[in-house]
Amino acid sequence: MILFRCDAGSDVGYGHFKRCLALAGFYRDLGFDVTFLMENPPGAVQVLAGNHQVSVLGRGSSAACMGCLEENHDRIQLLVIDHYGIGIEDEARLFERFPILVIDDLCRPHHCHLLVDQTVGREASEYMPLMGYPDTRILAGSPYILLDPAYHDVRTQGSPTEIILSFGATDPEKYTLAVLELLEQLPEAADLTFHVPLSSLSPCLAPLESYACKSRCTIQVYKDLDNLVDLYRRCGTAIGAPGISILERVHCGLVNIAVQVADNQARVGQALGDLGAVAFMGDINDLEDSVFLITVSKVITSISFRTRLQEKAQGLIDAQGARRVVRQTADLLSGVTLRHADASDRDRLFQWQHRRGVRKYFRNPSPPAREEHLAWFERYLGGHESIVWIIQWCGMEIGYVRMDAQGDERELSILVDAPYQGLGFGKAALMEMLSKRAGRYRAEVHTENQASIHLFRSAGFKLKSTDNTGLWQIFTY
């Protein structure tokens, strides 16, 4: 079980829960049981978790949550902590029991195996003097932004006058109302539509719905949305806090005006502003009304200004952060092992061959018919064909290494099942095989298959030649 310890609600918001969900979905797709341990989780969290096919364990206090960790210690394979209330002393105690991944954005002391801080511009060196465990791996900066997969391929198609307004799911200080009252002063106000997503727990909800009835603007309020995909496609502009959601909006191509409403948002807002990716207005308590209104008007009316912001933001977030983090946790969860394929693997091997795109770079890209596969497998079991090792990780079968005799050499091919690709398992399996079976090996790799070329080079294989078609490179070991 992968267990996440974070909280969500009207007092702490939903940011920690949202970035954890992005990572949780990745582990779920790898076949793990994923559970959130939370203090008094609201009903909206239960719904969101259910929609993401993960579980929630609710407890009445932080102490009860700690007790739950002890009760389930034999089931927890990785503990993920994203919680300002859990400090280095608690982590040091838990460190003795579990592999620990900590997610943070405040640059505090920690005691863990792996630390992730996705703050734009953050450097690993800022954390190094603060770590209680000297061998902690620190993943810092925008390459590790945890983006919900729902947004990976989403791009805005909206008008500049369709505007998302968001100061957090709960907005306990009712900043949304204050900003709307200010925006009423715009000459264009009657032509603007504001889309406001909120939690049903928000104290801002009722007064906002009342205000919407008398506003010059059009205001549409949304409660407890599972995600904002439809809004990100519909809206061309966003005004809000530089929290977790601004990273989604930047990735999806909206033009952003950011106003800081919490101390932990300052670094993100300033970094994105310095990059020219958003119009950062500073802290809401120091907001100059006239400058803010001029900026909003410019974002709505100036094509060149909007284009400049979008160009600076483009490519800043590549949506691969969760994959990079999971790759770094693979060895914390388990090492890779190999076993000889046996009769129980017949259908599994056939199914892997028929995964979409898996044979793209095979000499014969067409998957075998079932009868052809069964005949080959019978020969394999009789010892007259290839040697096949099944790659195992955390008790799951995730691919294979195949070896075929080619004179005095053995030709190798590797297949890793789609959900596990790009996480380092191919190289781990190859190195495991080479460490246990000495010999001369070769691999024939399509010139466009850069991932496999990198794999064999990194394992010590050398390029020997290219065949006469120019499409295949031969590597030897």
What confidence tens digit (pLDDT) does each residue in 136-152 have?
Answer: 999 999 999 999 989 99
Residue 244: pLDDT over 70:
yes
Residue 429: pLDDT over 80:
yes
Per-residue pLDDT reduced to its tens digit, 145-173 = 999 989 999 999 999 999 999 999 999 99
Torsion angle of the four alpha carbons 75, 81, 84, 88, in this order, in degrees rounded to the nearest 10: 80
- What is the rounded distance in angstroms from the CA atom of residue 353 to the CA atom of residue 365? 10
If pLDDT is split at 50, 70 and 90, which confidence band does 201 have? confident
Which pair of structure tokens corresponds to residue 103?
A: 């997610």
Which pair of structure tokens corresponds to residue 470?
A: 């120019």
Which pair of structure tokens corresponds to residue 362?
A: 């095979």
- What is the rounded distance in angstroms from the CA atom of residue 212 to the CA atom of residue 180? 10
Per-residue pLDDT reduced to its tens digit, 329-365 = 999 999 999 999 999 999 999 999 998 888 899 888 8
Other CB atoms within a 10 A radius of the CB of residue 371 amount to 8
DSSP 3-state assignment of 318?
coil
pLDDT at 384: 67
CB 223 within 8 A of CB 242: no
Other CB atoms within a 10 A radius of the CB of residue 293 amount to 15
pTM: 0.86
pLDDT at 226: 86
CB 391 within 8 A of CB 413: no
- What is the rounded distance in angstroms from the CA atom of residue 191 to the CA atom of residue 77? 53
Per-residue pLDDT reduced to its tens digit, 42-68 = 888 888 888 889 999 999 999 999 999
pLDDT at 11: 81
Residue 448: pLDDT over 70:
yes
- What is the rounded distance in angstroms from the CA atom of residue 295 to the CA atom of residue 273? 13
Per-residue pLDDT reduced to its tens digit, 212-241 = 999 999 999 999 998 899 999 999 999 999
- DSSP label of 334: -
Residue 431: pLDDT over 70:
yes
- Alpha helices, DSSP H only, in 168-228? 175-183, 205-212
* pLDDT > 90: percent of the chain: 83
**Mean pLDDT rounded to a whole number for the chain:** 93
Please compute the mean of the pLDDT values over residues 8-21 and round it to a whole number: 89
CB 255 within 8 A of CB 233: no
- Residues, the chain, total? 477
